[in-house]
Amino acid sequence: MLAHGGTRLLEIGTAHGLSALHMLCGIADWETGSIETIELDADVAAATQQRMDELGVPVRVHQGDAARVIADVLGGTFDTVFLDAQKSHYLQQLEALLARGLIGSGTLVLGDNVIDRSEECAPFLAWFVDNHVPHRVVPTECGLLVARL
């Protein structure tokens, strides 16, 4: 199903933009919908932003550490967040997004590598259990957490 209206999607961990482009396919209206994505590596962030601009797609790459970008740069609210940078920082990032009101009730949360990096992701997974948030782990090769806040 395609997401309609002003869908705003946040990704943490851009790399070369492959997953951002995949997720863009789920946004029906590129006039009002968009993806914001955070990448620590300055060269990678610049190259990916250039590629997105050349493609003419609504993807904005924020260069910097996710903690700083969440604290100082992002605004509004996001419908979906995809966590795919440092696995041991997933919980910290989720809590920072919640504390700033950037995500909240109804937000779709996706987290990659919860099976193949299960030790690092354990505190993140436990948060959903402890807070009784409905969630599933999709058994991809890496394991994808899907939850609705």
Ligand X SMILES: C[S@@+](CC[C@H](N)C(=O)[O-])C[C@H]1O[C@@H](n2cnc3c(N)ncnc32)[C@H](O)[C@@H]1O
DSSP string, 27-62: BS-TTT-EEEEEES-HHHHHHHHHHHHHHT--EEEE
Bridge partner residues of 83 (DSSP): 12, 111
Rounded CA-CA distance 106/131 in Å is 15
- The bridge status of strand 34-39 relative to strand 108-112 is unpaired
The answer to whether residue 66 forms part of the interface with ligand X (CB under 6 A) is yes
The answer to whether residue 42 forms part of the interface with ligand X (CB under 6 A) is no
Asked if 83 and 90 count as a contact pair (C-beta separation under 8 A), the reply is: yes
The answer to whether residue 145 forms part of the interface with ligand X (CB under 6 A) is no
The answer to whether residue 47 forms part of the interface with ligand X (CB under 6 A) is no
Write down the least CB distance from residue 41 to ligand X, Å: 4
Rounded CA-CA distance 55/95 in Å is 33
Closest to ligand X by CB, 83 or 149: 83
The answer to whether residue 18 forms part of the interface with ligand X (CB under 6 A) is yes
Binding mask 113-132 for ligand X (x = CB under 6 A): --------------------
Among 3, 44, 47, 137, binds ligand X (CB under 6 A): 44
The answer to whether residue 86 forms part of the interface with ligand X (CB under 6 A) is yes
- Read off the tokens for 124: 């993140």
The answer to whether residue 39 forms part of the interface with ligand X (CB under 6 A) is yes
The answer to whether residue 84 forms part of the interface with ligand X (CB under 6 A) is yes
**Whose CA is closest to 55, among 77, 78, 35, 32?**
35
Please report, as ranges, the residues that interact with ligand X according to CB under 6 A: 13, 15, 18-19, 38-41, 44, 65-66, 84-86
